[in-house]
Amino acid sequence: MPESHAPKGIDPRGPRFAASITAVLLLIATFLALVGPSTARAATLGWFTYQPLDDSSFAFVADSWLLPQLSVAQRASDPAFVVTLVIALLFLWSVLSPRTAPWGALYRRAVAPRLAPPTDLEDPRPPRFAQGVGLAVTSIGLVLHLLGLPWALPIATAMAFAAAFLNAVFSLCLGCQLYLLLQRAGLVGRPAAV
């Protein structure tokens, strides 16, 4: 490793194991969001408010989404919202304390002892950054869902699922690519000390 200040290395298979579990959870959350109120139409309300003389109001109501008509408590009790909230909290845990995060601990306790020891160790900072990206994406979905924006939740969980799946199955790291783009935009990292 070129940097001497790099922290202690971790088994690179740990983050991929965690990413597989996260991907499955995100797939479940996406399915629940797709069949839940986030994508539902408020068609039945249209019949009740139907007035023959007011075509435009009928068209608007009959064509509108269900989610904005629910209360915030109803939006928050959507099973998809609850599952995504749990996933977001797990992301937060991994960002704040990667050593104690449940999937990493499960890997070290139950999986790693059954495998050959790692041939190489990995820098723990990139997976931690990736967890932060996952936290940001799912949090945006949760907030927009609470604000009553239809489709926000399944789109956010689907994006996070794609990233976790590519990491788990193809060992591709979208965060690596994103990091350099953010850095070149001046949002992260320090500029050159020339």
Partner 1 sequence: MNLFAGALVLAALLAVTVGVGLALRWQQNRPRRLNPTEVVDPQRLGAESLGENATLLQFSTEMCGRCPGVHRTLGSIAGDRDGVMHLDVDLTHRPDIAKHFHVLQTPTTLILDRDGVVQTRFGGTPSRSAVELELARVTAEAGGA
Of residues 118 through 147, those in contact with partner 1 by CB under 8 A are 120, 122-123, 125-127, 129-130
Among 20, 21, 39, 140, which residue interacts with partner 1 (rule: CB under 8 A)? Answer: 39
Q: What is the rounded CA–CA span in Å between residue 14 and residue 168?
A: 10
The distance from CA 14 to its chain's CA centroid, rounded to whole angstroms, is 19
Q: What is the rounded CA–CA span in Å between residue 79 and residue 137?
A: 18
Phi-psi region of 49 (alpha: psi -120 to 50; beta: other; left: phi over 0): alpha
Among 21, 24, 27, 112, which residue interacts with partner 1 (rule: CB under 8 A)? Answer: 27
Decide: is 173 part of the binding site for partner 1 (CB under 8 A). Answer: yes
Q: Which of 75, 7, 153 is CA-nearest to residue 161?
A: 153
Decide: is 31 part of the binding site for partner 1 (CB under 8 A). Answer: yes
Would you tell me which residues interact with partner 1 (CB under 8 A)? 1-3, 6, 12, 15, 27, 30-31, 34-35, 39-40, 120, 122-123, 125-127, 129-130, 154, 158, 161-162, 165-166, 169-173, 175-177, 179-181, 183-184, 186, 189-194
